[in-house]
Structure 1
């Protein structure tokens, strides 16, 4: 469904779903009538089970923001700005952690902020953007896996991962795969393997404790209910993001990012021996 401009608000394909769940939590807070499992205000008061299965902490955070602002237009503008700034600063911060120069860090942040993966929320309210903006903050701590000084930040890694789990579960899968690769590389080359293992386990335990509501909600719902699965993607290839030399879309990386991606691969191959583990 294309986005629709309605009284200065941009309503895209996922707007009805997410705005309904934010409205529900906003009404719960405003009326002090909390129901963690049922949506008794949004979704036409149908009692659908949404919040415990889809980013519960952020659902209530967005509901609180909506209640305080008191306007859908103000809410959309505030959240759009929050997503864009968070995305830009996250990649900027990660680039600085990798010792990139100032100009490169700024350009990287701008490119990420303006990519279709992030503007997908602004244009179509695709909630994947909420998860993606948090990934650079986690990777910034995960880079420490490659540092043999054993300075993995348990608190930073644990809290940032917990926040992602409380936001968008699919992004957790992508991030976990990235963390696993970084951990394996760091563990193989580390001279302090036990210390690294202990600190990573401690961060994982912290993230687990901070997301007990997520795991408890999933267990409660799936252990006693017969739920319909989501509609499967019949052609996964058609929905995948590909390199392209056309305009950037949800399934095409676009000429700018495609050229930068290929240039980075070529540069890494040519300078492989001079490239450090975290670059």
Structure 2
């Protein structure tokens, strides 16, 4: 089946949120939503999520799933906010527990922070499936960028999160805790083994040099032939060397500190303190 896919580009974080609809019903899923956050003021805003909610409501769609491809380090998830407005279950990869354990220690969250993935409604593993109306979705565990990364294959469409970008931009970094260039290469080979005509929807776009417009849809065939990091049969050893050298030069994402603390909680803020205020921690020299 060929789902209807609608992309919403957030220019502040270069993130694409997707609404994926079963063509035979009004059922849909939302993939990788964005909660706006101004770091300087510490203020959140729901304008990006509200655009998606308004679209869903105008179309008369019914949300069954709010899917996270992984714990994002560059934007905050709006999944709980959208869930409150539209319903649906929040899903993420079952390896979220590893990410929670790692960053629970980084942010010294203590024993009150549950590291069992219970903040989410469904933890997906390799080979799991789910439905959006009559449309089947299959789960591929595609680690490398993070241990918990998933690719959701829904009909003829694959939502790859940060694993791969558009062919002219390449692939994701692998230098976060639990990341691995070797694992990423293996994960990408699994994605490239999907049928050539499979539509590939990427989690971010940064408009590669020479390209004038943002883009987020390609195909497996185009990735196999033209991806600048893995295309044309590039061997694993060349990719790993390139990726590790490149990653060593990259700065941390601008919103990594608030994003990790919120996203590992399923998009919820940390508990309020005794004055009723919510705080995010900055681990000095901790990342």
TM-score normalized by the length of structure 1 = 0.29
Higher helix share: 1
Structure whose CA Rg is larger: 1
Q: TM-score, normalised by structure 2?
A: 0.28
- Decide which structure has greater strand share: 2
